Amino acid sequence: MTNEITSTSMDIHEILDHLPHRYPFVLIDRVLSMELGKEIIAIKNVSINEPFFPGHFPHHPVMPGVLIIEAMAQAAAVLSFKTMNAKPSDDSVYYFAGIDNARFKKPVSPGDQIVLNVKIDRILKGIWKYSGVARVDGAIVAEAQMMCILKAIDKKEK
């Protein structure tokens, strides 16, 4: 792994190149900065057009907390793939292995911009552990510790 600072941002095209997710489940819009092997700062622009808002909740739209955690995990995946100098493939999947200490401090609404800050805590036996914090206007809206693993897909499972 290389520890170098990526001072330029990543736009959505480069994010999609380093993330296996696709519409409607891509939950990061831009990477603001990244230090390979260490940390990523990304953003999610929350729009009223999100597919979950008509049902969560029609009278008071709120972004589901689990999707904020998922956005942090997607930022973590981009950081991990860039750190490994690899890209997602059809032969593997980047899975959640665990979520600990998830806390939701404030609701996130249409028009908000979430700043996602995810740090690698450790990598051990292929399991990546991260700490993530999501902020809107500088205020913490969610935080969690996450574990993810890159697993080969068994051809029989396809």
Residues noted as catalytic: 56
Cβ–Cβ < 8 Å for 139, 133: no
Task: Give the span between the Cα atoms of 71 and 31, in whole angstroms.
Answer: 12
Q: What phi and psi values does residue 68 have, to the nearest 5 degrees?
A: -65, -40
Nearest to 72 by CA among 47, 50, 48, 104: 104
CA distances from 92 to 20, 103, 123, 155 (A): 10, 30, 18, 10
